[in-house]
Structure 1
Amino acid sequence: MTDEASSAEWVAGADGFRDGWAIVLWQPTTGTIRRRTVDAVEALLDLPEAPAVTGIDMVIGCPEQAEPGGRACDQAARKLLGHPRGASVFSAPAYDTLQADTYEEALRRNRASGPDAPGLSKQAFHLLPKLRALAARMTPQRQQRVREVHPELSFYAMNGDAPVEAKKKSREGRDERVRLLQKNGIPDVEEAVAAVAEGALGADDVIDAHAACWTARRIREGTAERCPPETEPAPESAQGLRMEIWR
């Protein structure tokens, strides 16, 4: 790849919201940034900018058997974030649970996946359509450039390996996360957040997409860290996807 082509590379971050995905695209070498929403995962995975890395705040790699506390990466992420931010990391459902149409069916499928398998939170159930759509299109090859991230882990890394104490939906929490993003090189975040109108897309969704984009840059540069640590092999799902969360 030429230096010119490399300097024009995009990275992207995506955060799901009720009606689709909030997307942030960034050319770190030029400072160019683009923001948009897309309706479906197909558009997310086929962005015209062809980002070198896309960080997605969504589970990539569901286990065959749901476990109390979730995957090893879920548990490691909670341990880093501590209380109360660790509660933002939900346990990945079993792969078979993705096909459930109702909450009752999702509970049944998850509990039936293994001898110690737990139920499923309502929050996780509402994510099933996006989880299902993403799982249908993810492959080990695609995972080289599409990685699972978690915004609170991103902010943990930005904040000197310390969780942000204030809730992300509070004014204090929003302002602190915007400050960290701007301090770490992403331009015009405050303006982007201020431009969000009342509706399905919230200011926290926009902020989280920026955080995912920041981690995508770190992955591209080789400076990102992951749960579990890179000194340990990441478990793989039955579909061959590494079960890991980057920050």
Structure 2
Amino acid sequence: MSGQDAPLQGRLVAGVDGCPAGWIAVLLEEGLTAPPQVLVTSRFADLLAREPRLEVLAVDMPIGLPDRIGPEGRGPEKHVRPLLGMRQSSVFSVPSRAAVYCEDYREACRIAQETSEPPRKVSKQAFHLFPKIRELDKALADERQERVFEVHPEVAFWRLNGGAPMSLPKKIKSRINPDGMEERRACLAAHGLEPAFLSQKPPRGAGADDFLDACVNAIMALRILAGLTEPFPKDFARDSRGHRIAIWA
């Protein structure tokens, strides 16, 4: 695990996002009374085991994995997409747990079709997330999930932006969009993060967009700790392992 040491003393939360090197986490102290800390780790389990304990981990990765997918999909995706306007393409559909555990794309599509009604294949974008989803699912096998929450950066920005989606994309044709990044930095600065912190070079092994996503997830983690978020859907189900099938914002 690598990062920037900061004197965090009070109750701590983390916003987490997947990145090329594994996972990037932004750690915040309740009340924002100490400078944030940024770290990159190769294993999500390292964050669960970290001392001092993280009270809330808000992670941009699907957590609850149904055994079967019905006409409404997994659930959370259907409820958050209408909130995001032009940004709704950032919300990928997630298939059944059995499909997620397939390492071959064609096999994943076959299993996804067999475990969904109506039958649905898997998008390539979602398939590329499967290794991270599996890692998180395995890491939570021996962990009570109550402190780990699924979030989505664009839904988080929607919440912090007064219920309006970001007007500009983070990326255009897979390339960073500077104007979209600056729009998100301004939103995060309005919620207490210092502009100098937000403008820093991301840690090695993480992209600038991964860093900003971890930042907004960390603000969501603080709001979760304070009881200021709600799940989508409100009447969420749990999967066969007891994990919540919901996105929080």
**Helix, strand or coil: the match of 2:36?**
strand
Measured in 1, the distance between the counterparts of 2:49 and 2:127 equals: 26
Matches within 5 A, 1:222-233: 222-229=227-234, 233=235
Per-residue CA deviation, residues 146-187 of structure 1 (Å, 9 max, x unaligned), is 100011011001111000010012111100101111110123
Kept in 2: contact 1:68–1:118 (CA 8 A): no
Whole-angstrom CA distance in 1 between matches of 2:117 and 2:79: 22
Once residues 68 and 162 of structure 1 are traced to their aligned partners in structure 2, the CA distance between those partners, rounded to angstroms, is: 27
Q: How many residues align?
A: 235
Equivalence for 2:90: 88
* AA matched with 1:194: Q
The equivalent position to 2:200 in structure 1, one of 194, 197, 201, is 194
The equivalent residue for 1:204 is 209
**What is the distance in 1 between the residues matched to 2:100 and 2:106?**
13
Q: 1:31–1:187: 8 Å Cα contact kept in structure 2?
A: no
Which moved further from structure 2: 132-141 or 219-228?
132-141
Where does residue 3 of structure 1 map in the other structure? none
Cα distance change of structure 1 residues 191 and 246 upon mapping to structure 2, 3 Å threshold:
same
What CA RMSD, in Å, does the superposition of the two structures yield over aligned residues?
1.9
Q: Which runs of 5+ in 1 are unaligned?
A: 1-6
Which of 94, 109, 112 is 2:111 aligned to?
109
CA contact (8 A) 1:67 1:118 kept: no
- Contact kept, 8 Å, 2:188 with 2:216, in 1: the verdict is yes
Conserved in 2, the CA contact under 8 Å of 1:69 and 1:91? Answer: no
TM-score (norm 2): 0.88
Q: Structure 1 counterpart of 2:28, which letter? A: W
Q: Secondary structure at the match of 1:32?
A: coil
Per-residue deviation, residues 58-87 of structure 1 (Å, max 9, x unmatched): 0011111134563221100101112x2111
Alpha-carbon shift at residue 210 of structure 1 (Å): 0.4
Query: Which residue pairs with 1:78 in the alignment?
Result: 81
Where does residue 51 of structure 1 map in the other structure?
Answer: 54
Matching residue's letter, 1:54: L
Aligned pair partner of 2:138 in 131, 136, 139: 136
**Runs ≥4 in structure 1, deviation > 6 angstroms?**
none
SS in 2 for 1:179: helix
SS in 1 for 2:27: strand
Partner of 1:121: 123
Name the CA shift for 1:19/1:69 in 2 (closer, same or farther; >3 Å): farther
Q: Percent identity?
A: 35
Give the Å deviation of 1:92. Answer: 1.4
Structure 2 residue ranges without an equivalent (≥5): 1-8, 172-176
Match of residue 26 from structure 2:
24
SS of alignment partner, residue 63 of structure 1: coil
Of 14, 33, 37, which aligns to 1:34? 37
Contact 2:70-2:118 within 8 A present in 1 as well: yes
2:156 corresponds in structure 1 to 154
2:5 corresponds in structure 1 to none
2:184 aligned partner: 177
Counterpart position of 1:65:
68
Whole-Å Cα distance in 2 between the matches of residues 94 and 202 of structure 1? 29
Whole-Å Cα distance in 2 between the matches of residues 60 and 44 of structure 1? 16
